[in-house]
Every structure is written in structure tokens, then in C-alpha cells.
Amino acid sequence: MKISENYSLKPYNTFDIDVCCKYFVEADDVKGLLDFVAAYEWNPFEVLILGGGSDFLFTEDFDGTVFYPVMKDMVVTGEDEQRIKVRVGAGVVWDDFVAWAVGHGYGGVENLSLIPGHVGAAPVQNVGAYGMEAGNVIEFVEAVDLEKAQCVKITAAECRFAYRDSIFKQEWKNRFIITHVTFCLSKNPQFCLDYGNVKGELEKMECEISLETVRQAIIRIRQAKLPDVKELPNAGSFFKNPVVSRAFAGKLAGQYPGIPLYPVDGERCKLAAGWLIEQCGWKGKTLGRAGVYEKQALVLVNHGGASGLEISHLANEIKKSVFMKFGVMIEPEVYVL
Ligand code: EPU
């Protein structure tokens, strides 16, 4: 356990924003964390639980405690002919876990290759890409409950996974520090290739379909479209894709032929926020030192030295223009603090 005061969060957020927190608690073991929490007076408004820092936009110093779990153990806890269960520490880099799974021939997370962040954040956001979501392979989550100062096991059903959402972003926000996630992966992988251009990329690669080649295809697609945080600080998709009624989506389709629509269920449709933003003319634009990435309008970038307020100002301008043009409210996927 390492506790620091007035600590800079610059190295801990992928937007590269220079803000400080009052206390920074780096926890590498559950027992130490539990001891600390037992003496800690919990107030959900003064807590922030940080993973890889790719889900936050800081607009000011944080006058509270940042918990940074860095447990890095990874252990196989059970297996049969079909499946394998693996318990992974919250501090393991997500893509290292995906590489491990693919390297051992275990399916279920290969389409989630190269997503930035740590394993502990995966259940919070229910990270998803190219037709797969982490929630589908999570068996349970272990966490330290800040309110009751005890260790708890939370089942996947209790996590209430939904599109980029879970109970950890709702009722249980800032209450549980996830320390480990147990995944159930498949020894007989079912490939999921129907989303976007995954099949097309595999055809271009002219190779057999395997976990390894699917991972390579996803990496190639992501690298071609998404900026590397080390070169151009960003937080991946800044906005969520909005969900609207089918009737409203039909009206938009009449007005804007070619608008991408993804049916969610009988009643609702998801729209592509990136498309809406591009139609408003934002792609590649800058406002001060903040900008909209030139290859993917869903991603806001820091061109160097931007403040969190500059980026959030840009986000608000985008939000306004999308609403004015399409009558659709887009909401950030990242927390703006
Ligand atoms: N589009 C545009 N212009 C743009 C961006 C997108 O016209 O600037 C169009 C595309 O041509 C496509 C549609 O919008 O027809 C959807 O775009 P894309 O397939 O690139 O995916 P997305 O909806 O923009 C979502 C996730 C990504 C994830 C991809 C692939 C959200 C908010 N984003 O993006 O997640 O990688 O699907 O599954 O759901 C992330 O969360 O950081 C992230 C990158």
C-alpha cells in the first residue's frame, strides 16, 4: 500500500491532463486495502476508483481520495473440457490478459484486443467492441466494499451489465473497489466476425481464421482508426452511441438516407454518434488545443497541453450541434469530473 498526498494524476489519465488529487491510495494487496478501508470514512462524493485512466476527463483538481488497485496476479481456478476459469487482478493491463487468453487458445475476449485500461475497469464499463462485451465472459467480481469495509463477491447477474454500463456506474458508483475479476473462457471458441469490417480485414490478411488472426485483424482495424494515447492523448470513444425509438430512427432515415442504424430490440435502435458528429462537420476540427480525431469523430484528442475544460468545452459544442441538427442528445461515455 502506498498513500500519497496532493498527488498529480497526469500519468494516470490518458487525456494527459495535469490535475492533482488530495490523497492517492495505490493498493497492491487486498488485506492492506481492507485494513486501510476499515479506518476510512467513506463518502461517495469524495472517492474515485481509477483503472487505466481511459474513462476520465478531469476538469479540475480532485478534492478527495483516489483508489488505484494494482493487483497483478492471474490464476486459473478451474476448468473442464469446454471452459476455463481464470481469476485476474484488477491492475493487470486489459490487453495483456487478452493476449494471454488468445495465446493459450481460450476464446471470448479476442475481439476486445487493444482496448486500453486495466482489468478492474472492464466490469465497470462493460467494455465492448466488435460484437463482444466483457460482461458475457465475466463470472463474478471480487471487491472491497467501502461502505461496509469488507470483501464481497458480486455475481455477473448482480453487476447488471448493459451497453457500456453496469451497477458500478449506477447505484454502486464509488462504493466497490474491484480487486479481481473471474472470467469464464471457452476452449472451443465461437468466432464473432459479423461486426463492421472484421471479416473484410481477415480476408485482406489471407489467413485461416483463428483466435490469433482475429486478434491481429482487430488490432489492425483499431490502429487504423483510433489514435495511440502515447502519441495523441485521448480516451477512446468520448460519447456513447445514442439509443432512440425505432419510430424516431425511421424518421431520421427518411431525412438522411445512409444513416447507420443498429437495431437493439423490437422498440429501439442505436445510432452511430461518430456519424452524427461527422455530419455536423466536426471531424478533424480543433477548438484551442482540443480536437476531434481526423479518422474517427467519436474520439476527442488533446493536441498538447489542453486543459480538461478545453476538452469539455469542445464536447459541449459538439453535443449542442448534434442536438440542433438531429434532435438527438449524445452523452459522454467518459466521466467528466
Ligand atoms: N462513422 C462515421 N464517421 C466517424 C465515425 C464513424 O461516419 O467519424 C460511422 C462508421 O462508418 C460506421 C458507424 O459510424 O458506419 C459506426 O462506426 P464504428 O464501426 O467505427 O464504431 P462506433 O460505433 O463508432 C463503437 C464503439 C467503439 C468500438 C467500435 C467497434 C461506442 C461508443 N464505441 O464505435 O469503442 O471500438 O464500436 O465495436 O460504442 C471505445 O469505447 O473507446 C471504442 C473505441
Whole-number Å distance between alpha carbons of 316 and 323: 11
Give the pLDDT band (50/70/90) at residue 52. Answer: confident
* pLDDT for 32: 94
Q: Which residue's CA lies nearest to atom 42 of ligand 1?
A: 236
Ligand 1 centroid to residue 145 C-alpha, Å:
34
* Closest to 66 measured CA to CA, from 56, 78, 81, 80: 56
Whole-number Å distance between alpha carbons of 49 and 298: 24
Angle formed at CA 103 by CA 102 and CA 108, multiple of 5 degrees = 15
Whole-number Å distance between alpha carbons of 277 and 42: 39
For 176-180, 226-230, 299-303, which range has the lowest pLDDT when averaged over its residues? 226-230
> Measured from the CB, is residue 196 less than 6 Å from ligand 1?
yes
Give a three-class secondary structure readout of 131-176: CEEHHHCEEEEEEEECCCCEEEEEEHHHHCCECCECHHHCCCCCCE
Whole-number Å distance between alpha carbons of 111 and 132: 6
Whole-number Å distance between alpha carbons of 117 and 35: 26
Q: Which residue's CA lies nearest to atom 34 of ligand 1?
A: 237
Active site members:
164, 237, 333
> Measured from the CB, is residue 183 less than 6 Å from ligand 1?
no
Ligand 1, atom nearest to 236 Cα: 42
* Closest to 136 measured CA to CA, from 156, 115, 150, 110: 156
In this predicted model, what pLDDT tens digit does every residue of 107-148 receive, in sequence order? 999 999 999 999 999 999 999 999 999 999 999 999 999 999
